[in-house]
């Protein structure tokens, strides 16, 4: 018997047409209709837009949440359950939904407001670095005000975030096999998101977080937790804090996890895990066909 962690990708994994195959299912149709009533726009229309409307932060995050949540429901209907959950940035909201911390509508309302706040954060820049010396990068970040490590994804890939000047300075100083400036509206997971984070904190405060049914490993603290208040506090910190994904992946075998299942579009998280923890079996579930293959 396998012990599986379900992990959920965030912004950057979206693709035109993602989740459209789910629309053939009555239960998914109900979810899409419920989402449209909450959002004021259609997830299916956005994901099908050939002009890549789905990559606009305001739309990306709710679309990912809705589609990944539907996949969660389908997996559970097949009798599958995770032994632990985690999500990368936006994906943490789906992880909390999957763990029963809040219901679908509550999570969607939070994601909608989060997306709108982050879309308005026009200051700053983010860049991914691949193939670099970790000590050199750490030294440059320490010596350069206004830039931080935003995503510690795996030993060979990180994302830095900060003011354009500071990010450019680090990119110019660190030798890397590849450096890519990200197409995002602001310096996510950095102190530059403090204003948006403070506003979002007031949104979170009245929301009740229940006890998680399975351990949740949070972006800002990779130790497993089930207490609702703890998980809520970690989410408050998430918008300005670093995504400690490498540590999350490394923690899974210690929880008895032998299989990592990425639930959502693309294969970013399984790709990161290949280098971080080679002993984990990797599974991707991004479509109705892949859900059915798991139980056939």
Annotated catalytic residues are 89, 189
Cβ proximity of 4 and 53 under 8 Å: no
Half-sphere exposure of residue 244, counting CA atoms within 13 Å on the CB side?
Answer: 15
Torsion of CA 249, 263, 60, 58, to 10 degrees: -70
Torsion of CA 253, 258, 262, 263, to 10 degrees: -110
Long-range contacts, stretch 180-185, CB < 8 angstroms, 24+ apart:
180/127, 180/128, 180/130, 181/125, 181/126, 181/127, 182/12, 182/125, 182/126, 182/127, 182/128, 183/55, 184/11, 184/57, 184/126, 185/57, 185/118, 185/119, 185/120, 185/121, 185/122
């Amino acid at each position: 018997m396998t012990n599986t962690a379900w992990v959920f990708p965030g912004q950057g994994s979206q693709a035109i047409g993602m989740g459209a195959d789910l629309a053939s299912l009555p239960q998914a149709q109900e979810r899409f209709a419920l989402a449209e009533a909450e959002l004021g726009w259609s997830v299916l229309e956005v994901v099908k837009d050939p002009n890549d409307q789905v990559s606009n932060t305001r739309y990306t995050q709710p679309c990912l949440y809705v589609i990944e949540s539907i996949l969660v429901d389908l997996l559970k209907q097949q009798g599958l359950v995770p032994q632990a959950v985690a999500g990368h940035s936006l994906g943490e909201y789906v992880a909390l939904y999957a763990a029963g911390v809040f219901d679908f509508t509550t999570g969607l309302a939070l994601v909608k407001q989060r997306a709108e706040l982050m879309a308005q954060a026009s200051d700053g820049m983010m860049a991914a670095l691949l193939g670099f010396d970790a000590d050199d990068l750490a030294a440059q970040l320490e010596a350069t005000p206004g830039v931080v490590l935003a995503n510690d994804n795996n030993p060979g890939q990180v994302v830095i975030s900060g003011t354009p000047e500071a990010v450019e300075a680090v990119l110019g100083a660190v030798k890397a096999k590849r450096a890519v400036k990200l197409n995002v509206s602001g310096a996510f997971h950095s102190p530059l998101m403090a204003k948006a984070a403070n506003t979002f904190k007031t949104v979170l405060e009245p929301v009740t977080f229940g006890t998680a049914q399975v351990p949740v490993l949070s972006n800002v603290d990779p130790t497993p937790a089930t207490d609702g208040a703890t998980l809520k506090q970690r989410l408050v910190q998430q918008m300005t804090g670093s995504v400690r994904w490498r540590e999350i992946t490394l923690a899974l075998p210690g929880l008895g996890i032998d299989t990592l299942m990425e639930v959502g579009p693309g294969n970013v998280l399984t790709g990161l895990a290949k280098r971080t923890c080679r002993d984990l079996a990797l599974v991707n579930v991004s479509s109705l066909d892949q859900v059915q293959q798991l139980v056939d």
